[in-house]
Amino acid sequence: MPGQVAAVRPPNVVHVVVAGDIGGAERLLLDLTTRPVLSGARHSIALMTPNPKLRALIMGAGVRVADRGPIHLHPLAYLWRAFGPRDVRWLENVLRTEQADLVHVHTYASHILGVRAAQRLGLPVLRTEHGVHHYTDPSCALGRRRALRRTDSIICVSNYVRDFVSAHAPEMAPRLRVIRNGVDEKRFGPRAFPADTPFTFSLVCRLEAWKQPDLAVRALAQLPDCRLIIAGDGSLRKKLEALAITLGVSHRIRFTGYTSDPGDAYAASHVSLNTSRDEPLGLSVLEAMASARPVIAFSGGGIPEIVRDGQTGWLVPEQRLEGLVAAMRQARAAPVHTLGLQARAFIEQECGIAAMCTAYAAAYAALSGSRAAGRG
């Protein structure tokens, strides 16, 4: 009727995920896709993974999933998947079936594949840059720059990531913007500190080399009155357990393995640790802060953007064991309740889940709007 404005439907966003681990990227994916109203889009996921735990996690989230089935993740399989005909044809069919308006790629292994399929159908591509290692890894060089240039918009999870990408590819600077990962403030609410227990630290991460979890084990050996909870799994698990036995601290460390709810680890600790080397942002850091736990972390990557030294935690200037031990001793004698409340306040003000989702909604609207204008 005259005078009426046609309702604009939310864009259909297909997320391409080629991954084997469950980390920050996969958790952001679920936070975003399970909130269609806040994120302003209809979501579906094109999934390729060899990990049954990741498949079960995504399948159980209530989001539409197109599953490629168990795949291999090694260099030859990646080359065939990225540049061969079969997987791009499969993804193209998924995009048609879902009537996609834009493609959202999340992991390095999805970048080239997602761009190829999107270009075949004339769809815009949005990419979340969760890290930067693929910019320096020679094995990731083939097709990297071409896929980057054919990506319409790039969301960086921190200023550190944005500046890194901009330095690596200056021509992409106009397409970069920062949206920090958000935390579900209700799921990770303030938790009471453990009473009548030894002072306890928590470390929530994948147990891989760049996370440097061995430093937490070695540091505990110099803090005889403290305990450590390690929540996570990975290739270093057995080596860490052996190291704990060698150092005589195995009775003071609890390995929980992978958990879909790290909140229990934060609740059982007084202070959370992050020992990663140049962490792009640190979703586990944000979750710990949301749980009202101050954080000790190395002052590299995007960590200084979220941890304020002496206010919401402690920044260790150099990635050395001595500095980590000194910060842990300082935390042992500090008013952790006060710092924990300040950490929680920071999350509420700057890293809430609603703010993240609405920022992505604006990014989706801009890309889908540009596509509509192009069709017009």
Residues 299-313 have pLDDT tens digits of: 999 999 999 999 999
The whole-angstrom distance between residue 117's C-alpha and the CA centroid of its chain comes to: 24
Across the strands, what pairs with 229? 202, 254
Q: Are the CB atoms for 183 and 353 separated by under 8 Å?
A: yes
Confidence of residue 373 (pLDDT cuts 50, 70, 90): very low
How far apart (Å, rounded) are the C-alpha atoms in residues 338 and 317?
Answer: 23
Contact 301, 274 (CB under 8 A): no
Residues near 309 by Cβ (< 8 Å), separated by ≥ 6? 299, 315
Taking residues 205-210, report their average pLDDT: 94
Query: How far is residue 157's CA from residue 166's CA, in Å, rounded to a whole number?
Result: 14
Burial of 55 by CB count in 10 Å (0-12 exposed, 13-18 middle, 19+ buried)? middle
Name the strands in the sheet holding 226-231, side by side, starting at the edge strand that comes first in the sequence.
253-257, 226-231, 199-204, 271-274, 295-298, 313-316
Express each pLDDT in 154-186 by its tens digit.
999 999 999 999 999 999 999 999 999 999 999
The 10s digit of each residue's pLDDT in 21-39 is 888 889 899 999 999 999 9
Neighbour tally for 56: CB within 10 Å: 11
User: Is pLDDT above 60 for 372?
Assistant: no
Residue 97 binned pLDDT confidence (cut-offs 50, 70, 90):
very high
So where are the chain's domains? 12-182+353-375, 199-350
State mean pLDDT over 319-340: 97
**pLDDT tier, 1 (very low <50, low <70, confident <90, very high otherwise):** low
What is the assigned CATH class of domain 12-182+353-375?
A: alpha beta
Poorest-confidence range of 59-63, 83-87, 166-170, 256-260?
Answer: 256-260
Q: What is the mean pLDDT of residues 364-375?
A: 70
Percent of the chain with pLDDT over 90: 88
The pLDDT value recorded for residue 221 is 98
Rounded Cα–Cα distance for residues 178 and 337 (Å): 31
In this prediction, residue 20 carries a pLDDT of 87
Mean of pLDDT values over 213-228: 98
Mean pLDDT of 284-295: 97
Inter-residue contact 308 to 284 (CB < 8 Å)? no
338/347 Cα distance (integer angstroms): 15
How confident is the model over 36-81, as pLDDT tens digits? 999 999 999 999 999 999 999 999 999 999 999 999 988 899 999 9
> Tokens 């080629």 — which residue?
18
For residue 284, the number of C-alpha atoms closer than 13 Å in the C-beta half-sphere is 27
Confidence at 375, pLDDT banded by 50, 70, 90: very low
Residue 370 — pLDDT band, cuts 50, 70, 90? low
Q: Which residues pair with 272 in a beta bridge?
A: 202, 295
Tell me the CATH number of domain 199-350, given options 2.130.10.10, 3.40.50.620, 3.30.465.10, 3.40.50.2000. 3.40.50.2000
Q: In 3D, which of 286, 309, 287, 283 has the Cα closest to residue 298?
A: 309
Predicted model pTM = 0.92
- pLDDT value for 250: 97
pLDDT at position 260 is: 80
**Arithmetic mean of pLDDT over the chain:** 94
Instruction: Name the residue with tokens 């101050």.
Output: 294
- Fold match, 12-182+353-375 / 199-350: yes
pLDDT of residue 357: 97
